[in-house]
Structure 1
């Protein structure tokens, strides 16, 4: 296809927020965020989509075939919603447990992330939807991500942080998204050595490289570095500016031809993708995927599965039983189906006919922004009885009649594309959200409000609080992503309705947001006492602890690894009256489990998607296996993590001092034993290994087989793992397979190791080298429990 200079340039800039430009013979493709499902470009709670387990949960499955099915489900959803390409998977690594967006990541090991990422890509693209892998590279933290400079060695990059992207490129993703941050001094979107030298050169990647949204800064540097597509558009950094730079001789014409050609070929490739069979039972597959990621770390006295002969009265205690955390707070957040079954309901459905199931919350969920239950201030004829009346006004002062109104049942309003009834993203205006709130208790209620401008809270028509102020364009996205709020205490009377009005006055910007919430009077002692009383009467306690959706967010990293102190006190108090205690932790990163000796059962469920409730109930009953293995190491203390703090220094640098020794590898090098090692976890069956054999291949690789036998009287899942240690003795994961084996049966596990499995990146030679000396191949159950050793020269 022959394109003019102007047409070529058109293809290098988006048409709008989420779609690419269109030319005769090259259609526009619609993109969407989607590591856990298809996120609406409006970030709107009304756009419901299928919510899959998070990246860490899929990482814990160690099951490429199952992850491919999850990718296929996302592909099916994308087609249903008219999406052509999905910004996923997220192939950054959980370098530190503090990473705010760590839940999207497959874990700490690059081979695990690359293998599962490639499987997810295969499943998605098998439905005729393109994958755009993200965020290249070292966007492994959120603090100052728009400006921080990741300082990493070539070896660390090649062996660790680039490896998942290299595997994604080999799997055929249509695009790769360049990260916001800098790498060794240059923004990733301006890093010629990265984009052109490695991705397009060493890897021979034929797809396009796209900026993260609003992530490109400079036309000449981005164009010359190898950026192909600037999003969103139009003509923000590339597009017409790309053409002008070519005409001025500042960018070679061949560079523009390359960029446009890559975008056009990607569109053609998406249209030509052959369709593969898709899962027919979506709910069943998602429940299987959730359970496959549950990691059982402790099961003293076989307290699980729950048997009628051992327990008749079950106490379900904890905030995450009725308010589970299914996902984190990013712009890829999914609106969940209205018939979602929470864990408590699912447990009652599973056990209620044979057991007495009681429930107490014990403590409040620790939301950064608490929810607000209200009824609309106005009847708009939409039948809505929940939510707030949201109105848009065209100017700051004097305008009282809205240009548009609708009912919204959410506590966070965000607009990227435009505001209903007005072109107000390009001009100043006001937004009001108004509703009736009826208190359940007397006392002080803390009302929260925040937004991308000046905010005012009205109580029964009178101003009660003013905050915020004009926002500069450079600060807007950080404010929007952070979602910080201010608050005021308001005395309220039980049963007496209060009219709340949250107002935002904003200036022209590319996005806007208003958020609010309500926290009622605390009565922690009463809640705790009721939970302890219930626990004392039970045969078994299921203690459901964990996070809220806004505890892990874009643009913010965590401050620590401990669960909320109120939950830890709940654990101590319940343990004091009942030792038959199973802790179920709804957390999606490594966290402090130093209290593990206080419980008999310990199950990590991560953020498991919309089928959490049924999957959990089935695992507790023994109908499904807790199939997960830790995709991260859990340290005995925070100081043991090879990388922990994520705040850049005064120069904006974030040194990757651990080099290529991330996670369990760094702990090995330091001689530090983890509390729970990478790869740990077990199900309800026990297994043994025998007859391990190694056959070197002519190209320098190896084939390995080992027999796995189920030693139990029930079928079960097992994940044999293979690690390779060179002369330095550091073990690296190089193979794994998820097997389901019948009771008493055996199965052969096979591993094919290419030459790269024995090589490291030699910085002096600038290439892959095999260290002289013997290499050990270690087989077993996790990075610290490897009972079988084979050697090769």
Structure 2
């Protein structure tokens, strides 16, 4: 067998890329005085006493102690794009009985397979404001992933948080509010991991738009940039907004975190030591592993010491057969560039996350291939080798359709209702619009849902799954009309103006207009929307359709499927528009779920997870659509700080159409009797002390002959990433004329230290998520909620707080509950305020501090309907 040459193996990359990275950062600094990501070294090692991780750590230690250096490298390095069955796989450890680990999309289902479910989006789940439903969604997705042989499910999403309403992937996450997103993250993670699959919290961090996230993608769209976008975020904003939900994820025990494509303060996310070493592993005490987004790794040794633990999919670029790790990482440890304890810690973190959710290394086989739905084909897809059965078409949907229908219905927000809803055997129903029908070529006709044809039930990109079926609104509403004996007609076009006017102008018509606005991931361009939306208007001339129907029919109901807010300014207050509903991205049961709400089978209680502004400019922050730094890294300064979405509207004191947290019901509620109970939480004590020194697990040979490719044991697979060397001469293998340089000559100071390290005052000693006292309950707020209507309903009381500082938002969501209340009955809401809820991040002392300003608690039905308030003693 002929191996690649040393140059083809790319052995010196770990050295050269680190130097190139430093040079590039210096160039950026000279070009523009911007935020810089300060270094933080060494990379923290696992804490054997971390809460919730003790048993997993012990099992991982026993396993990793048996591993060779090459096995550790194999575990940390992906095998290459399309090298095996999943969207990403790590190398296997056959000697110890561990098969290749399967990393697979998506945050709403299993991508690219069959006989799986298509769940509602995270954003739609967030609109339920129901912790239990969000958990059940995560658990069901975890069950399906496990049933397919997936070991790491790539979700949930807190990045993007939703800084800009036009952000293409906002729908994959939950809400621009960090508390609501934090709840969504924590409950999803608990559900996924309780089902036996590792959750992967992504994209860490500041990944708020699709434009310029990758150089190659941007060049494909005609943009001449040499580096990806830099999200420039100050320390206070980072902690109080973007890091907040990731802290909740770590506290929930998440097993993995995915670092993002873009730069943060001009340092790439997957080699940014401030983000991975300091914020995530030091401050938050994260015990799992950090994996790169696909092709987000730009260096070898530099990313290793900066805190990256696994590289996906393994190759430097898709299907090159070259890797920053693999062979390079083996050599880097052998020549002392990367310390052995760092690779030990990588392996420990991966295996501890594995044992946290799995009782045995004996895993069910991966029973699908992402690359095809054919039953037979090459298991090594890129190399076209290993022809065998690769898809077993295992059905994992169980009864999840019922859950999907429930979530989608309970996540539908009733924005407006003047009395036309709920429907009760209407005489004549007319359904209008493209969005009510199906794609004539089938719901999965467009790869990764990369089109907007027919009803919108899912955005586009890697965050998707195939539909097992898709119930359209037209199909479900027609079935209901037939059952009721109603007359029913539908026109499934936005442009059949003459026919639509003739239909809806008739007597006794209830016209239901379906409209949408789509978005997705940047590698797909739909009608000029390069992931991010071009605007906030409805697609396919939907605004004109709504206004036309409303001018012809005095009882017009509008249903919106969208990936975020749209501008309703031109028509929302039209008297002929009697109801408006936002149905989000409901998944496979779309038609059934909206029918349940329209007809009152489900009494709506969902709340909008974002603000509906009157203009696009009213949101403040917006997508950067054009490079602003020559051909260097586009610079996106987060100058608004923590003021996004409702916080920005409140600060600017501008009107909105529907505020964050708004949502109506078919019954009514009355709020009264707010009370404050102060707890006996003790005084906050900053964490002190030091970690243990870096542990190592077993010795390794320094004889390079022990690391040659074992061609007598198995054949070389084309483009497959291996940990082996191709020559025993390390200097020749490196192909680097400056091979003799030591790590200290190009790696940052302390990057390879292994001594005990001081604990941060804001971190916990053994508590993931930060200092344990941050989560002490300081106050319990109670209020009475009475159902003053005639039917049973659910209400979502929301607890907000004002911190009283001149630079603080007017109010911030801190807690909520979804409560079922019978007509005429009163229920008590109990909300909690923790020390973190009442604190600001102090950039001077680098810790959370409760400020001196007067603090007030508010309870109400939305961010701008806060009927009750009480000053906190």
Shorter-chain-normalised TM-score: which range?
Answer: 0.7 to 0.9
Where does residue 122 of structure 1 map in the other structure? 190
Within 5 Å, give how 1:335-734 maps onto structure 2.
335-338=466-469, 340-353=470-483, 354-363=485-494, 524=495, 527-537=496-506, 538-547=508-517, 556-564=531-539, 566-594=541-569, 595-598=571-574, 599-647=577-625, 648-650=627-629, 651-699=633-681, 701-728=778-805, 730-734=810-814
Asked if 1:38 is matched to 2:110, the reply is yes
Give 2:838's match in structure 1, choosing from 758, 761, 782. Answer: 758
Cα distance between partner residues in 2 of 1:187 and 1:770: 33
User: What SS is found at the alignment partner of 2:856?
Assistant: strand
- Partner residue of 2:722? none
- CA deviations over 1:588-647 (Å, ceiling 9, x no partner): 201111120122110001111111111111111111122311111111111110212333
8 Å CA contact 1:128–1:273 kept in 2: the answer is no
Which residue pairs with 1:463 in the alignment? none
Q: How does 1:286-297 map to 2 (within 5 A)?
A: 286-297=404-415
RMSD: 2.1
**Structure 2 CA distance for aligned equivalents of residues 757 and 669 of structure 1:** 19
Q: Tell me the distance in 2 between the aligned counterparts of 1:280 and 1:781.
A: 36
* 1:189-217 CA-partner distances (Å, limit 9, x unpaired): 01111101111111111100000011101
CA distance in 1, matches of 2:412, 2:106: 22
1:634–1:678 CA contact under 8 A, matched in 2: yes
What does residue 295 of structure 2 align with? 214
Instruction: Please report how far the alpha carbon of residue 266 of structure 1 lies from its aligned counterpart in structure 2 after TM superposition.
Output: 1.9
Q: Which residue of 2 aligns with 1:305?
A: 422
How far apart, CA to CA, are the structure 1 residues paired with 2:870 and 2:288? 40
Structure 1 range deviating more: 226-235 or 659-668 = 226-235
* Structure 1 pair 769–199 and aligned structure 2 pair: CA distance change class (3 A): same
Cα pair distance change 1:215/1:355, threshold 3 Å: same
Instruction: Go from structure 1 to structure 2 and tell me whether the alpha carbon gap of 1:674 and 1:737 turns closer, same or farther (over 3 Å shift).
Output: same
Q: 1:649-678 CA deviation, whole Å, 9 max, x = no partner?
A: 224111111111121111211222222111
Deviation at 1:16, TM superposition (A): 4.2
- Choose from 20, 40, 58 the match for 2:90: 20
The residue number in structure 2 matching 1:176 is: 257
Determine the structure 2 residue equivalent to 1:105. Answer: 173
Relative distance call for 1:32 and 1:778 in structure 2 (3 A) is: same
**Counterpart selection for 1:140 from 193, 201, 208:** 208
**CA separation of 1:564 and 1:14: change in aligned 2, threshold 3 A:** closer
Change (3 A) 1:71 1:292: same
1:324–1:548 contact (8 Å) kept in structure 2: no
Give the counterpart of 1:260 among 324, 330, 347: 347
Q: Structure 2 CA distance, aligned partners of 1:362 and 1:87? A: 36
* Residue from 430, 440, 444 that aligns with 1:315: 430
CA distance in 1, matches of 2:833, 2:100: 41
Q: Is the 8 A contact 1:230 1:236 kept in 2?
A: no
* Kept in 2: contact 1:552–1:558 (CA 8 A): no
Please say which of residues 543-552 and 96-105 is displaced more in the overlay. Answer: 543-552
TM-score by length of 1: 0.76
* Cα shift at 1:328: 1.2
Give the corresponding residue for 2:827: 747
Question: By how many angstroms is 1:711 displaced?
Answer: 0.8
Per-residue deviation, 1:691:
2.1
In structure 1, list runs of 5 or more residues that go unmatched. 41-45, 364-523
SS of the counterpart of 2:639? coil
Distance 2:803 2:844 in 1: 19
User: Aligned residue for 1:772?
Assistant: 852
Q: CA deviation at 1:567?
A: 1.9
Match of 2:863 among 779, 783, 788: 783
- 8 Å CA contact 1:90–1:104 kept in 2: the answer is yes
Q: Which residue of 1 aligns with 2:401?
A: 283
1:85-117 Cα shifts (integer Å, max 9, x gaps):
100001121111111112112011011001111
**Paired residues for 1:40-119 under 5 Å:** 40=112, 47-92=114-159, 93-119=161-187
Give the whole-Å Cα distance in 2 for the aligned partners of 1:548 and 1:784: 28
**Contact 1:642-1:666 within 8 A present in 2 as well:** yes
SS at match of 1:597: coil
Q: How far off its partner does 1:749 sit?
A: 1.3
Q: How much has 1:727 moved relative to structure 2?
A: 1.2
- 1:247 alignment partner in structure 2: 334
Q: Which moved more, 1:203-212 or 1:591-600?
A: 591-600
- The C-alpha deviation readout for 1:715-759, integer Å capped at 9, x for no partner, is 111100000101136211100111121222221111122111100
Distance in 2 between residues matched to 1:124 and 1:725, nearest whole Å: 34
If asked which structure has higher relative contact order (CA below 8 Å, sep 6+), I would say: 2
Q: CA 1:10–1:549 in structure 2 vs 1: closer, same or farther (change >3 Å)? A: same
Distance 2:101 2:562 in 1: 35
Q: Is the 8 A contact 1:350 1:618 kept in 2?
A: no
Structure 2 CA distance, aligned partners of 1:553 and 1:774?
Answer: 48
Q: How many residues align?
A: 620
Q: CA 1:253/1:551 → structure 2, altered by over 3 Å: closer, same or farther?
A: closer
**Equivalent pair of 2:155/2:199 in contact (CA under 8 Å):** yes
From the superposition, tell whether residues 553 and 292 of structure 1 become closer, same or farther in structure 2 (CA, over 3 Å). Answer: farther
Measure, in 2, the Cα distance between the counterparts of 1:704 and 1:178: 37
**Alignment partners' CA distance in 2, 1:169 and 1:230:** 20
Aligned to 2:71: 7
The question of whether the paired residues in 1 share the 8 Å contact of 2:172 and 2:463 is answered with: no
Counterpart of 1:116 in 2: which secondary structure? helix
Q: Which residue of 2 aligns with 1:326?
A: 457
Cα separation, 2, equivalents of 1:150 and 1:290: 33
SS of corresponding position for 2:101: coil
Q: Deviations over 1:407-454 (max 9, x none)?
A: xxxxxxxxxxxxxxxxxxxxxxxxxxxxxxxxxxxxxxxxxxxxxxxx
Change (3 A) 1:266 1:194: same
Question: 1:474 maps to what in 2?
Answer: none
